[in-house]
Amino acid sequence: MLRQNFVQRLAQYPLRRAVGVRGYKAAVFQPSSSIMLPKSIYTARWTTANLKHARLASSEVRGYARSRYEEFKQWQNEQRSQQQSHEQPPSEPEWEYRPEGPSGGRVLLLRPTLWALAFTAGTFYVCSNVFIGHQEKLLKKSRNLLDMFWAAPDGGSESDRVWKIMGDPRVQHLVGMYHNVHSEEHARMIRRIARLPEWVPHEVKRTVVALTDRWYKLSRGSRCVYTIAGLNVLVFGMWQMPRLVPFMARRFLHDPRSGLSYTMLTSTFSHKDLWHLLFNSIALVSFGTSVANTMGAEHFTAFYLSAGVLSSLASHVLAPLRPALILPSLGASGAVYGVVGAMMMLFPHAQIAIIFLPFIPMSISHVFPALLAYDFAGAVLGWRTFGHVAHLAGGLYGLAYLEWGTEYWNRLVRFIDRHRRKN
């Protein structure tokens, strides 16, 4: 009798109890799903003899519910994946660099060598012409020095032109009549800022004027160094634009297998990592300002560009010796090493501080040879940490140029000066 009552209670279990919690959820949440319970549960005569059949039916129900729950979980995962795919736009396939060029993957030697030598010669020629033109302007200003005290009747002196520019009502409203001006070019820049549209806030104009004052307060050599650093930052910003990455990899990476020669120059201004940009920029500003103020802006420009190109050429020419190390290169490290080498030649007793040991001053005559020795070991042993060949070539070029190259610069300047006077 007790067994019969137990079987009857088992038959009266609700669906949730019979199929289990998981099976019940699957039946509720699974659309277009229905659990067909075995017919024997409802039609069997619940007697002691049928107890075994009831147990089999119960296990059958639970097994069926378990399978339906697994189907429900699979459907639920599919719905979630579809929802995520609709919410998130399809990502573009990641671009992969592959060297392309007329060389067919071979490392050319003659063409890049001729290009580097021609570029170096052309750069020195152009910069020397600009240098002579600037010297002629200074000579003309020195001849009209008395115009600062006795103005010419026609008002043609620079002081008169500056006074006229600063007398503009909009300039006076922005900075006043007696604002400190370093040159006529400085005054013209202030007038351009004052003539900006009215919707530009007055505070913004004053901020730009303050930055302009600091810029023109710098020497020409310092302005040259900061301009190079600004170009490096600009190229770094272009690297951060995903759409420009393929273009930057083709035009601002130097790969010896690409067959392109001008990338030896463009890669000198290219930095893809922030730490690389910061390290080179700090070194360039720290050492470059002293070297540029000593050389002059034009002379330093020719020296810096030639150091960058020739250091890339050295890395290019020596690349076939270790084919496994032929990798695309970028960075101004070779040119910066040349600047540090020139700094050591100009100021051999200068005290410098290494970035990792800022409180321990060291002589540049001790630090720089140690860096060259480290890069020499890296170039011989094939280390892939940095571009050791480019570093070594740039440093040696800086030392050699300050020892013998400055005399050739002076000869070139005298030659061009005589040629211009004859014409």
Which domains does the chain possess?
2-75 (no CATH), 112-143+218-422 (1.20.1540.10)
Which of 28-32, 118-122, 202-206, 253-257 shows the lowest mean pLDDT across its residues?
28-32
Q: What is the token pair recorded at 94?
A: 């990641």
Please tell me the distance from the alpha carbon of residue 259 to that of residue 409, in angstroms, as a whole number.
31
pLDDT one-digit tens code per residue, 155-175: 567 777 888 888 888 888 888
Instruction: Determine the pLDDT at residue 73.
Output: 77
Q: Which residues sit opposite 363 in a β-bridge?
A: 351
Instruction: Determine the pLDDT at residue 20.
Output: 46
Instruction: Determine the pLDDT at residue 351.
Output: 85
Give the chain's end-to-end CA distance (angstroms, integer): 132
Segment 64-80 shows an average pLDDT of 75
Q: Exposure pattern of 244-275 as b/e (b: 16+ CB <10 Å)? A: ebeebbbbbbbbbbbbbbebbbbbbbbbbeee
Instruction: Return all residues near 374 (Cβ < 8 A) that are at least 6 apart.
Output: 388
Catalytic residue among 254, 276, 299, 391: 391
Is 33 in the active site? no
E strands present in 268-356: 351-354
Catalytic residue among 333, 366, 388, 419: 333
pLDDT one-digit tens code per residue, 337-359: 999 999 999 998 888 877 666 67
Is 333 in the active site? yes
Q: How does residue 65 score in pLDDT terms, banded at 50, 70 and 90?
A: low
Percent of the chain with pLDDT over 90: 34
Instruction: Determine the pLDDT at residue 313.
Output: 92
